[in-house]
Amino acid sequence: MNAPERPDAFKTGDLKVVGTRPVRPDGNDKVTGKAVFGPDFKAANMLQGALLRSPHAHARIRSIDIRKAEALPGVKAVVTREDFPTLEDILMNVGETAGSVLDLSQNVIAREKVFYDGHVVAGVAATSEAVAREALALIEVDYEVLPHVIGIEDAFRPDAPVLHDTVFTRGLDEKPEQPSNVPLRMRQAKGDVEIALGDAAATVSGHYSMLPVHQGYIEPHACVASWKADGKVDIWCSSQGAFNVRGLTSAILGIPTGTIRVMPLEIGGGFGGKTTVYLEPLAVVLSRKAGRPVRLTMSRTDIFRASGPAPGAVLDVRLGATAEGTLTAAEVEFKYSSGAFSGYEVFLGISSAIGHYNIQNYVVTGWGVLSNMPKHAAYRAPGAPQVNFAVESAMNELAEKLGMDPLELRLKNAIRPGETSMSGTPHGEIALVECLEAARDHPHYSEPLGPNQGRGVACGYWGNHGGPSTASVAVAEDGSILVVEGNPDIGGSRASMALMAAETFGVDYGQVSVTIADTSSIGFSGVTGGSRTTFATGKAVVEASRAVVEILCDRAAKLWNVDRAQVEWRDGEAICGAGEKAGETLSLARIAAKADNTGGPISAEASVNPLDHLPGYAVHICDAEVDRETGHTRILRYTTVQDVGRAIHPDYVEGQMQGGAVQGIGWALNEAFVYDANGRLDNPGFLDYRMPVASDLPMIETVMIERPNPAHPYGVKGVGEVPIVPPLAAVAAAVSEATGVRMRDLPITPDRVHAVLHPDG
């Protein structure tokens, strides 16, 4: 049942193109093998690079001897920390938030110490990959191996091996005297939680945990960089933001931004993990030294060892409510892993913790914890699924304690339009209540269950983002509409841009083409992330389209020799409202053909920076069956309900809902980073890092609740991230019901399930 359901209350306008499901503009290339992704690009005279990575989780680098590698025939460049500038630490925009350039630079190539298994120590460019790999084996690195630490609680202890002697916990009342692995404590509070918990008719408390998980994009990181003798740099790569790659490469290498041109290739999945740089600065430095273009590609093993993961977490939650189910208190405390360098997920975890409910007394505390794992990266709604798992699991337990239906408990406490969330932001046209009602009334929710089966629900929230975007729109000589934008298309956004432009012009979808330009060919655009592209870049496309319509009307007025005010634009053509030509029309093609006589080329560019985005809400229902003999969990049925604003291309909105839900199912049941006693990742491949496959899953049913965002010309709300927020708790609740034991630790692997079903072995 994937047909869109549009509650009558939210039906608006008479849109002709927006809301239809045409074939995406880049589709043909992607089903025929023609599309050029990151690893597919070749430059003339290109060298192949390879990277030497640390085999140790934590070690001081005493020395690196590259002389033998440099002497190997076919080797054109070897680079180490000596080839990178020493930076003053500055904060700059990294993906969606501020990040430390010093940290990023050290993550790209190790300086005094290596901080994790897989940390880059040196790079080689050679005439073939075989030669490059041979050269790596000739590099001699003298390591002083240091004690390492992986687990959150281990790294948090005062006697843990400390990664950075410059890190002192921020956010405490007093600055600590000793450095630690805890860069940050954040707290947000209101009211008096202890009194409220004491007065509550019902309380629940629980301790929850999960390990880091990887974004799991199928396309490896890859780039080609070409440094030219005049100091100009070309980079071809797939990323979630070419401008982000340009800015970070510029900052890490200390070269002017304007000398770098980044050509966006097609991107094979990112989920937040491609909002940073790993390879590009290395490829640029190798190219500078070799004088030829250099390609770098990560192997799957290296992707797992040295990129990604989302934070693991340990969390404690206490909730209190009245006998009628009104939440009166929430106490949430969590520790998130950050990897070897500080991240920003703690902040996002706090803002995502309980913002979907009205609670008068709360305290939410988050800690960031460093350990010898790769620097963590954004993963779809970064920081939200972890804390949501604990809070929503506690909500399910509270419903049981109160004898209430879990969706009714949520309805009683759900945040409504006009109410202020925990972040202090007043929420406008949000539809959490309608999502909860649609889930409650869905046939799935009342379908009978069999033995060893359970049903779980959860709801979640993600703030979404807006931010800077640029788009230009030009009219070709025959009236075709050419849209140019700067956001990589990671899941069908060219189609949504074309739909919004076609709607604005009143033309057919097929009359619009969309190009994603390089960083020198269009104004700045933030990353494709934060569920911001269709919202913010869409706004830029619509603004530029409206400006072009204005020009077209002006040109028509000139052709008719009437006032601009007498010309109206409707259904892709100008209509004359006065004079002897009254009632006549001029098509886009006619106006375009006469452009040279009326003022020249017709185009406009719009740059926007909207912050009037609205959050997204989702409610998920999961049925699971547990095999008592093997402990294996099978997902029987899964339904997602989501507040989607307006679905510009409903297929791709459903696709976000389905894909996010399945990533969440994998997180709940299978996925985890497992380290051995030496701090080396034990499962750096798809065989042992088990992501869901087609035979693990049923169809993922989708219900889109369309309550348009009034701040967007076509009602867009971000839809991409919130689908991964509720699945962890929904799946865990289903397994809990099926087994009769509360599942508070992820992933819920067969051995864990078997252990709770057979406590005596």
Partner 1 sequence: MSKLHVTCTVNGDPREFLCDPADTLLSVLRGPLDLTGSKEGCGSGDCGACTVVLDGQMVCSCLVLAGEAEGSVIGTIEGVAEGSGLHPVQRHFLEKAALQCGFCTPGFIVAAKALLDQTPNPTETEVRYWLAGNLCRCTGYDKIVKAVMEAAAELRQERIPA
Question: Looking up tokens 């009254």, which residue turns up?
Answer: 582
Secondary structure of 648-677 in the HEC alphabet? Answer: CCHHHHHHHHHHHHHHHHHHHHCCCCCECC
Return the number of the residue (611 or 687) whose C-beta is nearest partner 1.
Answer: 687
Asked if 21 is part of the footprint of partner 1 (rule: CB under 8 A), the reply reads yes
Asked if 740 is part of the footprint of partner 1 (rule: CB under 8 A), the reply reads no
DSSP alpha helices (H): ranges in 322-405? Answer: 345-353, 384-402
Q: Which of residues 23-42 bind partner 1 (CB under 8 A)?
A: 23-24, 26-28, 30-37, 39-40
SS3 of residue 560 by DSSP: helix
Q: Which of residues 454-493 bind partner 1 (CB under 8 A)?
A: 490-492
CB of 15 to partner 1, least distance (A): 19
Asked if 686 is part of the footprint of partner 1 (rule: CB under 8 A), the reply reads yes
Q: How far apart are CA 471 and CA 607, in angstroms?
A: 7
DSSP 8-state class, residue 149: -
Query: Residue 35: in which H helix or E strand, if any?
Result: none
Q: How far is CA 102 from the centre of its chain?
A: 23
Return the number of the residue (579 or 685) whose C-beta is nearest partner 1.
Answer: 685
Considering only 134, 345, 434, 654, the residue that binds partner 1 (CB under 8 A) is 654
Considering only 699, 740, 755, 758, the residue that binds partner 1 (CB under 8 A) is 699
Buried b (16+ CB within 10 A) or exposed e, 107-140: bbbbeebbbbbbbbbbbbbbeeeebbebbbebbe
Q: Which of residues 482-541 bind partner 1 (CB under 8 A)?
A: 490-492
CB of 133 to partner 1, least distance (A): 11
CB of 278 to partner 1, least distance (A): 17
- Phi-psi category of residue 738: left, alpha or beta, with phi > 0 → left and psi -120 to 50 → alpha: alpha
Asked if 693 is part of the footprint of partner 1 (rule: CB under 8 A), the reply reads yes
CB of 239 to partner 1, least distance (A): 12
Considering only 2, 322, 598, 603, the residue that binds partner 1 (CB under 8 A) is 2
Residues in binding contact with partner 1, number by CB under 8 A: 59
Can you name the residues that pair with 420 across neighbouring β-strands?
426
Considering only 460, 529, 659, 718, the residue that binds partner 1 (CB under 8 A) is 659
Q: Which of residues 168-227 bind partner 1 (CB under 8 A)?
A: 215-220
How would you class 708 by CB atoms within 10 Å of its CB: exposed for 0-12, middle for 13-18, buried for 19 or more?
buried
SS3 of residue 637 by DSSP: strand
Considering only 203, 276, 413, 658, the residue that binds partner 1 (CB under 8 A) is 658
Asked if 655 is part of the footprint of partner 1 (rule: CB under 8 A), the reply reads yes
Asked if 85 is part of the footprint of partner 1 (rule: CB under 8 A), the reply reads no
Q: How far apart are CA 530 and CA 94, in angstroms?
A: 12
Buried b (16+ CB within 10 A) or exposed e, 345-381: bbbbbbbbbbbbbbbebbbbbbbbbbbbbbbbbbbbb
Q: Which of residues 288-317 bind partner 1 (CB under 8 A)?
A: 299-300
Return the number of the residue (511 or 656) whose C-beta is nearest partner 1.
Answer: 656
Return the number of the residue (91 or 693) whose C-beta is nearest partner 1.
Answer: 693
Return the number of the residue (21 or 68) whose C-beta is nearest partner 1.
Answer: 21
Give CA angle at 105 (101, 108), nearest 5°.
140
Asked if 694 is part of the footprint of partner 1 (rule: CB under 8 A), the reply reads yes
CB of 444 to partner 1, least distance (A): 15
Q: Which residues bind to partner 1, rule: CB under 8 A? A: 2, 21, 23-24, 26-28, 30-37, 39-40, 130, 215-220, 266-271, 299-300, 490-492, 649, 651-652, 654-656, 658-663, 685-687, 691-697, 699-700
